[in-house]
Every structure is written in C-alpha cells, then in structure tokens.
Amino acid sequence: MKTTLTIDDDVLAALEQFQRDRNAALEEVLYQALRRGLREMEAQPRLRGPFRTMSVDCGTPLIANVDNVAEVLAVIEGEDYR
C-alpha cells in the first residue's frame, strides 16, 4: 500500500541520522520506528511504586513550640524584635 506521509523536519533528521548510523534504507528505519512506537503505545503503562522521601535528622529545634509567632521571630531576628 502506498501512502504519502508528511514528516516534520526534526523527525526526518533523526530518522536520517539513524539510517546513516545503521547503514539501512530509510523505509526500513521508518517501519522499524513505527512498529516500535505502536507496540509502546499499545502496552500497558508501567505502574510506579509510591514516592518515598528520605527523612533527615535536623538536630534539636531551637524552639520547642512554634505556635507563638512572636517568640519564633524573637529567636530568629533577635530579642530586639519584641
């Protein structure tokens, strides 16, 4: 079956580079890319595991309770803040 296909310049450049690297016909490289892409599109998406964040010990806090904003600012900015 013959079909006219318009290929973006960047895709054509990548196909031609692949063709030169493999010393293959452009048509063969195009068919291989299409087949691989179609298989990937049909495949089930890979499920990723839950994201885990590593915990880090930051040492003893300077303030036991951060509910009092004035106390926190006094510690951070100095007693002159009060």
Task: Evaluate whether residue 23 is within a structural domain.
Answer: yes
The one-digit pLDDT tens for each residue of the chain (82 residues) are 888 989 999 999 999 999 999 999 999 999 999 999 999 999 888 888 898 999 999 888 777 778 888 888 888 887 765 5
Q: Is residue 65 part of a domain?
A: no
| 33 domain residue, yes or no | yes
Does 31 reside within a domain? yes
Q: Is residue 38 part of a domain?
A: yes
For residue 76, the one-letter residue type is I
Q: Is 59 in contact with 67 (CB distance < 8 Å)?
A: no
The boundaries of the domain holding residue 18 are 9-42
The answer to whether residue 57 is domain-embedded is no
Asked if the structure places residue 21 within a domain, the reply is yes
19, 45, 44: which is closest to 31 by C-alpha?
Answer: 19
Q: Structure pTM?
A: 0.49
Instruction: Count the domains in the chain.
Output: 1
Q: Which pLDDT score is estimated for 80?
A: 64
